[in-house]
Structure 1
């Protein structure tokens, strides 16, 4: 594909995301996307077979971007409490600008297995990252050694995921600092960290 071809394809993807966010998946037509991209309908079909195909790529790009944000290296010297809060902050900040597309992925996932798999991949990545963090804190002597890292990460991950959905997708107004404080407190207590401010060895 030529440079111009790549640029045209990227333009269609950008327009498609905008239209999907504004109209939803069901109500969006290919005609709406080409109008927003200012290209001919034939140009659209040069790069994508259907509305489903362009939505799948928009969704994949969103998930890839979010996963990249979640895997930012942890800050050296941070306490266990700080590491918990930082991981939660990264997730909520990655979720916020992508909430509309995530909601559409869930909607489309009710009748498209590919979208269910894609949505699950985002959650599984966060759960796996969280489980590794819990296990690391156990090894360092901060977290309760009796806690199952993976199952605890599953349960706490569901809490964070649902909070973000209510906050960003359903539009319930929360104070960002209060949400992060509460999520961090519940998460820290669930894995048995000492009260914030208490001495953390290691």
Structure 2
């Protein structure tokens, strides 16, 4: 689970959500592209519904309404179609689109907008994020790749914190990397509990989204000692 406000990775290419080695070259015909897209969408539906371990390739081809043999024209394995599913979703997770900030010079307003965009994207992709956690436990290559991606996000957040420190906005007494690991992890875990675990626990009341955004933003601002947030 990793969290990075969008503008802290803007202009800096983050690692993809899945190993590119699992993917073939895309089809060159329109019909081939349509069939592949249908298989990717069907795979996401099946993986999110049944989980990665219990999903079968026949379930995917049935969902896509295509012949079982067609699958192997575009993908060699379940791992390969999973990589395609994750890579298709990564743009929404990495660059979810932050709403217009009234005062772009207000670090708290920018932080709140960033957190809101990230949490909205996580909520939209909650079942897929749960799937990624499951796969990381059983597929070493995906686990290693996920770790490298998380580390890249943390380093970018650390650079953002260091920039705020240089501007006199953030507490210069904290180590940017350590602060990034703590604060990025906090938002990720909060999102996982709210949108993945919360969905499975009927006895727990649903998380109030606005309260979640407000809480994580306040904790970020307080931890970094933004002016007016002591």
TM-score by length of 1: 0.88
Q: Tell me which moved more, 75-84 or 138-147.
A: 75-84
Q: 1:179 aligns with which of 207, 212, 216?
A: 212
Q: Give the Cα–Cα distance (whole angstroms) in 2 for the partners of residues 126 and 87 of structure 1.
A: 14
Measure how far apart 1:113 and its partner are: 2.1
2: CA distance, partners of 1:118 / 1:96: 22
- Residue 122 of structure 1 and its aligned partner are, at CA, apart by 4.8
Count, aligned residues: 196
Shift of 1:22: 0.8
Q: Cα distance 1:118–1:130, how it changes in 2: closer, same or farther (>3 A)?
A: same
- Pairwise CA distance, 1:125: 4.5
Q: 2:99–2:117: 8 Å Cα contact kept in structure 1?
A: no
Q: How does 1:163-202 map to 2 (within 5 A)?
A: 163-171=190-198, 173-196=206-229
SS in 1 for 2:54: coil
Distance 1:77 1:101, change over 3 A: closer
Judging changes above 3 Å, is the alpha-carbon distance between structure 1 residues 88 and 123 closer, same or farther for their aligned structure 2 residues?
farther
Shift of 1:65: 3.2
The alignment status of 1:101 with 2:134, answered yes or no, reads no
1:23-54, Cα deviation, whole Å (9 max, x unpaired): 11111111100011000001111111111211
SS of 1:65's equivalent in the other structure is helix
Do the aligned partners of residues 73 and 113 (structure 1) sit closer, same or farther apart at CA in structure 2, a change above 3 Å counting? Answer: farther
Pairing partner for 1:158 from 181, 185, 188: 185
Residue in 2 that maps onto 1:13: 40
User: Bigger relative contact order, structure 1 or 2, given CA contacts below 8 A and separation 6+?
Assistant: 2
Could you list the runs of 5+ residues in structure 2 that have no partner in the other structure?
1-27, 199-203
SS of 1:78 mapped into structure 2: coil
Is the CA contact 1:63–1:118 (under 8 Å) kept in the aligned structure 2? no
- Structure 2 CA distance for partners of 1:114 and 1:61, relative to 1, 3 Å: farther
Q: TM-score, normalised by structure 2?
A: 0.78
Residue of structure 2 in register with 1:116 after alignment: 143
2:43/2:85 contact within 8 Å kept: yes
Q: Is residue 3 of structure 1 aligned with residue 30 of structure 2?
A: yes
